[in-house]
Structure 1
């Protein structure tokens, strides 16, 4: 396989390969998140049709994320062995099929099975996708590249909440799954024709250069500590996001008295506000060549905004809190964390590493929906789960302050 450096390729093309990847991966996340959030937009209607409790509604998302999490590491290992592109294309086709079939579910049990199968398919995406982007995006553009990719999550969240709410009100909740399955197959075709076929193991980053073995050992030990710290932070950050993603429309409608036709728009403010925030934080972290201060600052304001969603009774202030959470919560923070993982990652098996990173983060999503449903049933309120989410974000803040250490080395990346 002919190899070329990132810098050589970017000079030759006004639309370099890394940017092509960033854009198609952006689209991948748009429809990954859209197909998740059409469920959130339909929860009241699904609950009424199948006569479900809060725990049962939460179980729809919990089992989805359980399957999503458990398929992460195996799919990353397989992708490192047989090729990143193969796993991406297969996974998208698989989850597209069962997204469409969700619309024909005639019972709650079948609905649960469909959610599990969709979760398995979606679980094949994160590790191979970020392995490809980390290997192909120049380090000087790494934060911005990850922010472009991650902004698809925000667009998808808004598309799922607003589009899903509209389709549900006009055609019924089942048509959400029929309609949103179609673009999933189109994205799979884009992956097939744009992504270059390769294995992660065939792409090597030059090793860091050290003066002696002791320096190399100390640096690699620091890398491992940083990776563990990032794993803790991502769990703490993801819990609040996936709780909000699963339950915010319900919370706004039931506890805040917002009209059903408006909950999708209000909920989508979290996603829309995250786009400029993620791009700005990522650009600044690339330019300043630092990640830690952004982790600390974003986690601090995520704590404040999560508490504000409960404590601020004034509706305009609630909107401000949701926008602030969008700017500083999971969607704003994740590009920084992904870049930090890439900064500290070894050159081998990147698919496995990124799959592990995401499976740890998304393990919080297994707990968040069901905990929210449990507390809703027991206390008739979701406020306790907001407090729990804020507490976990504070734990992540402490880890960023006292455990994570900025990586000093600045190795260049190469692409095949």
Structure 2
């Protein structure tokens, strides 16, 4: 019988000693950190460019939000296929080709001559980038031990927050000096260079990592699993906050607080740095706790909700940045714990499909948040738009407390009976222990 969420929550806590990263893991982290950094800078720069794009094409805020959401629609749709491709053809090959193709579409973004063409290019760009995340997580799973995994993924994922520093610091001056199109050309060149490094230097899977392709039974179990979709919904709640803030904070500071584009970018530095540090800490906590994401995500999302609610009522820009930093800290701390139990529990040959499902949930939030918040900002106010994000934080917190908190409960909920799951997937015992 499946273990109930309550029973899973009450299972005894078993802290584990976090393992140091070996040479293979360190090289893997460094290369995938660089690839993720390019990935996130590519998608964040458009948020800085939205005011310029809006003026050039005559767009209101709802239409500007659509330019962001169309990327996330394709990006979300690419997550599960990306995981399946990584499981079938290999993480290194899948991640590399995704990086190369999305760099081409990054360059094409700068050539868009109309709003319709921009939407088409951003959709195709999102489809290419959507293949990458699950492949990257699978690459980490194949090159780390279970005790290293969340710490390694936390380091890789801290690139997301660092991108929030790099994008305004480098992108804003380029946009001001040379126009918004030049920024996309520059990032495309960097993407091609990182692709070359990934192809040349990413190590092979560690000895003992499974080389078998996933059986159709195992994939069907994941896609039909209610517990996996609950983890995906948790990530949806988390990402509703993240993508809502990333999309609209620069425009809010520019339109409502009167900051220049460069000053708005500088204001985002402290929240981004804190979020990056929190992502690393969250990954280490997930390894140390052996799961137990509810202990991290629920209180962290409560802190995020407080920060979000107090941001737009702040009297000064400095106070706004302070509350934004608090919100970013809670969100950063929550990132890796959402993945901890599934990624520690699934066999490596299903790591791509499993992570793809969870990331799919998060990227649906990237479709919803920009358009809904843009509509609320136009129709009501930015205060209402940011308050909307509390719904995401609440959803993530509730699901963090009602999903299985450790491997045994997760496997029981996944397929009711561990022997049937093992028969369908052929995991090695080490991965499931």
- TM score, norm. by length of structure 2: 0.82
In structure 2, the CA distance between the partners of 1:124 and 1:275, relative to structure 1 (3 Å rule), is: same
Other-structure match for 1:366: 367
Q: Does 2:293 match 1:291?
A: yes
Q: Does 2:130 match 1:123?
A: yes
Other-structure match for 1:305: 307
- In the alignment, the residues of structure 2 paired with residue 141 and residue 198 of structure 1 have an alpha-carbon distance, to the nearest angstrom, of 14
In structure 2, the CA distance between the partners of 1:72 and 1:282, relative to structure 1 (3 Å rule), is: closer
Q: Aligned-pair RMSD on alpha carbons?
A: 2.6
3-state SS of 2:312 partner: helix
User: Is contact 1:37–1:164 with CA below 8 Å preserved after alignment?
Assistant: no
- In the alignment, the residues of structure 2 paired with residue 80 and residue 288 of structure 1 have an alpha-carbon distance, to the nearest angstrom, of 28
- In the alignment, the residues of structure 1 paired with residue 25 and residue 204 of structure 2 have an alpha-carbon distance, to the nearest angstrom, of 14
- In the alignment, the residues of structure 1 paired with residue 346 and residue 310 of structure 2 have an alpha-carbon distance, to the nearest angstrom, of 36
- In the alignment, the residues of structure 1 paired with residue 251 and residue 28 of structure 2 have an alpha-carbon distance, to the nearest angstrom, of 36
3-state SS of 2:407 partner: coil
Q: Does 2:70 match 1:63?
A: yes
- In the alignment, the residues of structure 2 paired with residue 203 and residue 132 of structure 1 have an alpha-carbon distance, to the nearest angstrom, of 14
1:157-172 pair list within 5 angstroms:
157-172=164-179
Other-structure match for 2:81: 74
Other-structure match for 1:254: 255
Other-structure match for 2:324: 322
User: Is contact 2:341–2:405 with CA below 8 Å preserved after alignment?
Assistant: no
In structure 2, the CA distance between the partners of 1:74 and 1:143, relative to structure 1 (3 Å rule), is: closer
Q: CA deviation at 1:360?
A: 1.0
- In the alignment, the residues of structure 2 paired with residue 226 and residue 300 of structure 1 have an alpha-carbon distance, to the nearest angstrom, of 23
Cα deviation digits, residues 3-25 of structure 1 (max 9, x gap): xxxxxxx99xx852122111111
1:44-123 pair list within 5 angstroms:
44-123=51-130
Q: Does 2:60 match 1:33?
A: no
User: Is contact 1:309–1:322 with CA below 8 Å preserved after alignment?
Assistant: yes
- In the alignment, the residues of structure 2 paired with residue 255 and residue 21 of structure 1 have an alpha-carbon distance, to the nearest angstrom, of 42
In structure 2, the CA distance between the partners of 1:203 and 1:385, relative to structure 1 (3 Å rule), is: farther
Other-structure match for 1:271: 272
Unaligned runs of 5+ in 2: 1-18, 215-220, 411-428
3-state SS of 1:59 partner: helix
Q: CA deviation at 1:251?
A: 0.9
In structure 2, the CA distance between the partners of 1:367 and 1:304, relative to structure 1 (3 Å rule), is: same
Task: Decide which moves more: 173-182 or 304-313.
Answer: 304-313
Q: CA deviation at 1:192?
A: 0.8
Cα deviation digits, residues 123-143 of structure 1 (max 9, x gap): 111011101212322222222
User: Is contact 1:143–1:339 with CA below 8 Å preserved after alignment?
Assistant: yes
- In the alignment, the residues of structure 2 paired with residue 384 and residue 106 of structure 1 have an alpha-carbon distance, to the nearest angstrom, of 33
Unaligned runs of 5+ in 1: 1-9, 206-219
Other-structure match for 2:199: 192
- In the alignment, the residues of structure 2 paired with residue 242 and residue 225 of structure 1 have an alpha-carbon distance, to the nearest angstrom, of 25
Other-structure match for 2:335: 334
- In the alignment, the residues of structure 2 paired with residue 203 and residue 22 of structure 1 have an alpha-carbon distance, to the nearest angstrom, of 23
In structure 2, the CA distance between the partners of 1:108 and 1:389, relative to structure 1 (3 Å rule), is: same
- In the alignment, the residues of structure 2 paired with residue 71 and residue 281 of structure 1 have an alpha-carbon distance, to the nearest angstrom, of 26
- TM score, norm. by length of structure 1: 0.86
Cα deviation digits, residues 322-366 of structure 1 (max 9, x gap): 11122111x332122222321232454221111111011111100
Other-structure match for 1:215: none
Q: Does 2:346 match 1:345?
A: yes
- In the alignment, the residues of structure 2 paired with residue 37 and residue 110 of structure 1 have an alpha-carbon distance, to the nearest angstrom, of 19
Other-structure match for 1:142: 149
3-state SS of 1:202 partner: coil
Q: CA deviation at 1:120?
A: 1.2
In structure 2, the CA distance between the partners of 1:237 and 1:294, relative to structure 1 (3 Å rule), is: same
- In the alignment, the residues of structure 2 paired with residue 79 and residue 121 of structure 1 have an alpha-carbon distance, to the nearest angstrom, of 13
- In the alignment, the residues of structure 2 paired with residue 276 and residue 233 of structure 1 have an alpha-carbon distance, to the nearest angstrom, of 21
Q: Does 2:382 match 1:402?
A: no
1:185-264 pair list within 5 angstroms:
185-196=192-203, 202=211, 227-264=228-265
Cα deviation digits, residues 247-297 of structure 1 (max 9, x gap): 110011212333332111112332211122122232233234343311222
In structure 2, the CA distance between the partners of 1:198 and 1:135, relative to structure 1 (3 Å rule), is: closer
| Aligned counterpart in structure 2 of residue 24 of structure 1, from 31, 38, 44 | 31
- In the alignment, the residues of structure 2 paired with residue 272 and residue 364 of structure 1 have an alpha-carbon distance, to the nearest angstrom, of 23
3-state SS of 1:91 partner: helix
Q: CA deviation at 1:245?
A: 0.8
Q: CA deviation at 1:413?
A: 4.1
User: Is contact 2:87–2:213 with CA below 8 Å preserved after alignment?
Assistant: no
